[in-house]
Amino acid sequence: MKKYTLKRTDPEHAPSYLIPYEKELNENQLSAVTFGSGPSLVIAGAGSGKTRTLVYRVARLIESGVSPASILLLTFTRKAARQMLDRAAALVGTQTEKVAGGTFHSFSSSILREYASAVGFSASFTILDRADGEDIINLIRGRLGLTDRERRFPKKETIGEIFSKAVNRAVPVAGVIEQEYPHFAHETEKLLEILAAYTEYKQAHMLMDYDDLLVHLVRLLEKNEGIREALKKRYRYILVDEYQDTNGLQARIVELLGGGAGNVMAVGDDSQSIYSFRGAHFKNIMDFPTLFPGASVIKLEENYRSTQSILNLANVIIDRAREKYTKILWTKKGTGTLPALVPLPDEPSQSRFVAQRILDLREEGVPLSDICVLFRAGFNSFDLEIELKKRNIPFVKHGGFKFMETAHVKDIVAHIKVLVNPRDAVGLKRVLMLVENVGPRTEEEITGSVLSAPRITEGLAPFAGDRRFGEGIGRLSRVLASLEGRDLNPAETVERLLEYYTPIAKRRYDDHPKRLEDLEHLAIIARKYRSVESFLTDMALEPPSDSISDITREDPDPERLILSTIHSAKGLEWHSVFIIWAAEGYLPTTYAAESADDLEEELRLMYVAATRAKENLTITFPIKIITHRGPAFGRPSRFIEDIGEDVLETWSVEEE
DNA sequence: CGGGACAACGTTTTT
DNA sequence: CGTTGTCCCG
């Protein structure tokens, strides 16, 4: 092994620079970009050039002689990291490829695979998505005999939620139940029993859910000083984007890696904290200077995105927050047109209005791809989607429905999971239950046999010839044998499994042609990966966001309207933005009605939505709403009610 | 024991 | 509306 020493260069005293930083950045941005060593917090208002600042900082560090591999850029999605590094590459070249970047979860996953044995795992552990975890919880609940209907016991979804909240907020499960689920307080004992069994189950089968990735990384760093020190040396510059949406565990990871003399820069905006359901709290960002004593605070308040009219409305909205850390957005851009509030008779007319306005905007020269429709929840756009199809307006939708969660995709992926991690009992169960004449009982029997055998096919062997299952188990055994224990090529693996799966899909699904077509696309996606392990990790941590056919389409129409949940629109911007369903019960959602904190978060959601617009902002809501209980009168969202006409102009629309 | 048929339920946001 | 759970037949 070759040894060599890295030369450290102090960025403050670095040599001459090729990039004209002073020209490209304002004063505060420049001080963030050229910030020397130690901890720093950048409070960046919406549209204040936060991404630009991070991009230039990465470039500056590299230009100063910092080794790209010693920079860690933690972002909210991996796509965000990729885009920032691409932009940095345009400044300093391809060395940015060596920068470590990604989400906390993807970073944790790679470190944990590197040091798996130190946390009692094998490097090929499987990552469970939400539904997988719930399946295990259900299984355990059944085993503990907690299925009888007489006692009102929480659903598996609720149980999973309780556990996850406890982990992400670093509070005991009993506390979460007491606080938020008092009606289940009498079941606390049983829930703790399930939690213990769930934890044990995951360990025994080499499984980690999303939360475990963070928990195990924290544990690894806390308990192994050697590893912690090695990683601290490896990542000398840590940049954390969207810090307002990190939770206690993530903050702990940053603290462990960058505490002391570390160079940590956290960037975020407390007004845009919208992920409390994931354990994030906007106060985390305010606590940063406490966690990192001596941290310098840099504020970015000049907005480069929106017209002053849009910022005026945004400022009025956020001014209604009970708790806020005042930040008034301003811009040198002109006044622009007033944001509009448009009440419409009902949902179909809301859809027609939005579609019509979009066509008008396109006539005026705004490309479809620079227009976005935002909403609180995925289903809010269903009616609009029908209208858009009717009018042949092409669109993509972000957020809401995930095709990784569709049964057929999960079926194929389960087979691969089993090949990679033969102890993955969740995957195995899914695989076996697909075989004809195998039900819960038989599945358990076969799983027992497989888990105690050295190889899957050996475990299956006793059942392969069993006439009870016809050819089923035999076919499964053969396809697994042809793939087992080999260095698998992801695309080839998917294709071979697809061959095996086709008759199963035909038997189980009436709409199999569509589903099989989806799976062909999955094979195409798989081609991009060198190993099945990285394919699986990506499918779990960064599942493709569009529908499969959108991603792999030969000629993806770049001229497409964007539909998005507000959550998925974080950090993005468009020329014209529509916020639909701005009605009481929708934004804010009824679920938030109970808690003042939750209502505040809904308010911030409205703020995030409004600040996505550069030139045009149109807010709509239907007056007559059909709920499952019958028709009701929609009231405008309290967040945009009683705002002066000089800030938010009400339109009345007449339909011909 | 498996699986089809039928009923009931409840509907946010995401790594 | 589409999923999840229950019942009952083969």
Per residue in A45-95, pLDDT tens? Answer: 999 999 999 999 999 999 998 999 999 999 988 888 888 999 999 998 889
Q: Phi first, then psi: give them for residue A339, nearest 5 degrees.
A: -60, 150
C-alpha A399: how far from its chain's center?
9
Least confident of A368-372, A540-544, A554-558, A590-594: A554-558
Alpha carbons A472 and A465: distance in angstroms, whole number: 9
Which range, A146-155, A362-371, A526-535, has the best average confidence (pLDDT)?
A: A362-371
Nucleotide minimizing C1' to CA distance for residue A147: C5
Distance A508 CA to B5 C1' (A): 15
Helix A156-169 to helix A248-258 angle, to the nearest 10 degrees? 30
Per the rule left: phi > 0, alpha: psi between -120 and 50, beta: everything else, A47 is: left
Per-residue CA distances from A196 to A117, A190, A193, A203 (Å):
22, 10, 5, 11
Are A274 and A605 in contact by the 8 Å Cβ rule? The answer is yes
Least confident of A171-175, A334-338, A553-557: A553-557
pLDDT of residue A16: 65
Q: Is the CB of A128 under 7 A from strand B?
A: no
Average pLDDT, chain A: 87
Nucleotide minimizing C1' to CA distance for residue A157: C4
pLDDT of residue A548: 46
Per-residue three-class SS string for A418-445: HHHCCCCHHHHHHHHHCCCCCCHHHHHH
Distance A381 CA to B11 C1' (A): 14
Per residue in A232-261, pLDDT tens? Answer: 999 999 999 999 999 989 999 999 999 877
Per-residue CA distances from A377 to A75, A244, A407 (Å):
23, 21, 22
Alpha carbons A44 and A28: distance in angstroms, whole number: 10
Q: Is the CB of A470 under 7 A from strand B?
A: no
Q: Is the CB of A3 under 7 A from strand C?
A: no
Q: Is the CB of A441 under 7 A from strand C?
A: no
Q: Closest protein residue to B13 using CA and C1' atoms?
A: A567
pTM above 0.85, yes or no: yes
One DSSP character per residue, A167-178 reads HHHT--HHHHHH
Checking if the pLDDT of A553 tops 90, the result is no
Are A297 and A21 in contact by the 8 Å Cβ rule? The answer is no
Spatial neighbors of A125 by CB under 8 A, at least 6 apart, are: A112, A113, A116, A206, A207, A208, A421
Checking if the pLDDT of A352 tops 90, the result is yes
Within 10 Å of residue A80's Cβ, how many Cβ atoms?
22
Q: Is the CB of A379 under 7 A from strand B?
A: yes
Distance A293 CA to C7 C1' (A): 64
Distance A391 CA to B15 C1' (A): 35
Distance A574 CA to C3 C1' (A): 36
Alpha carbons A182 and A189: distance in angstroms, whole number: 13
pLDDT of residue A621: 93
pLDDT of residue A52: 93
Cβ < 7 Å from strand B, A residues 236-275: 274-275
Beta strands in A439-513 (DSSP E): none
Per residue in A567-605, pLDDT tens? Answer: 989 889 999 999 999 999 899 988 888 788 889 999 999
Distance A194 CA to C10 C1' (A): 36
Are A428 and A573 in contact by the 8 Å Cβ rule? The answer is no
Per residue in A486-498, pLDDT tens? Answer: 778 899 999 999 9
Q: pLDDT higher for A211 or A546?
A: A211
Distance A508 CA to B3 C1' (A): 11
Tell me which residue has tokens 């009018």.
Answer: A391
pLDDT of residue A549: 47
The pLDDT of A420-446, averaged and rounded, is 87
Beta bridge partners of A577: A372, A617
Are A541 and A331 in contact by the 8 Å Cβ rule? The answer is no
Cβ < 7 Å from strand B, A residues 184-223: 210
Distance A155 CA to C3 C1' (A): 14
Checking if the pLDDT of A379 tops 50, the result is yes
Cβ < 7 Å from strand B, A residues 575-604: 589, 591-592
Alpha carbons A12 and A431: distance in angstroms, whole number: 57
CB-proximal positions of chain C, under 7 Å: 4-6
End-to-end CA distance of chain A: 78
Element (H, E) at A266: strand A263-268
Alpha carbons A506 and A516: distance in angstroms, whole number: 9
Beta bridge partners of A585: A589
Alpha carbons A277 and A275: distance in angstroms, whole number: 5
CB-proximal positions of chain B, under 7 Å: 1-3, 10-15
Which range, A180-184, A343-347, A481-485, has the best average confidence (pLDDT)?
A: A343-347
Strand duo A371-375 + A561-565: pairing: parallel
Distance A438 CA to B3 C1' (A): 10
Alpha carbons A495 and A643: distance in angstroms, whole number: 58
CA dihedral A265, A271, A272, A274 (to 10 degrees): 110
Alpha carbons A91 and A23: distance in angstroms, whole number: 14
User: Counting Cβ atoms within 10 Å, is residue A452 exposed (0-12), middle (13-18) or buried (19+)?
Assistant: exposed
Q: Is the CB of A443 under 7 A from strand B?
A: yes
Q: Is the CB of A156 under 7 A from strand C?
A: yes
Per residue in A383-414, pLDDT tens? Answer: 898 899 889 998 888 876 677 778 888 899 99
pLDDT of residue A200: 92
State the pLDDT confidence band at A7, using cuts at 50, 70 and 90.
low
pLDDT of residue A151: 57
Alpha carbons A104 and A345: distance in angstroms, whole number: 45
The upper half-sphere exposure of residue A490, i.e. CA atoms within 13 Å in the direction of its Cβ, equals: 21
Q: Is the CB of A408 under 7 A from strand C?
A: no
Q: Is the CB of A430 under 7 A from strand C?
A: no
Checking if the pLDDT of A533 tops 80, the result is yes
Beta strands in A392-539 (DSSP E): 395-398
Alpha carbons A52 and A369: distance in angstroms, whole number: 21
Q: pLDDT higher for A567 or A180?
A: A567
State whether the Cα torsion A562-A566-A567-A569 is positive or negative: positive
Within 10 Å of residue A484's Cβ, how many Cβ atoms?
16
Least confident of A8-12, A19-23, A26-30, A508-512: A8-12
Distance A136 CA to B15 C1' (A): 19
pLDDT of residue A73: 96
CA dihedral A95, A99, A103, A109 (to 10 degrees): 120
Q: Phi first, then psi: give them for residue A616, nearest 5 degrees.
A: -120, 135
CA dihedral A320, A321, A322, A324 (to 10 degrees): -130
SS3 category, A24: helix
A613 residue type, one letter = A
pLDDT of residue A493: 93
Helix A407-420 to helix A490-508 angle, to the nearest 10 degrees? 130
SS3 category, A296: strand
pLDDT of residue A28: 93
Q: Closest protein residue to B14 using CA and C1' atoms?
A: A278
> Among A216, A226, A151, which Cα is nearest to A190's?
A151
Q: Is the CB of A138 under 7 A from strand C?
A: yes
Alpha carbons A494 and A413: distance in angstroms, whole number: 8
Q: Which long-range contacts link A191-198 to residues 24+ away (Cβ below 8 Å)?
A: A191/A154, A191/A159, A191/A162, A193/A144, A194/A137, A194/A140, A194/A141, A194/A144, A194/A146, A194/A159, A195/A163, A197/A140, A197/A143, A197/A144, A198/A133, A198/A136, A198/A137, A198/A140, A198/A163
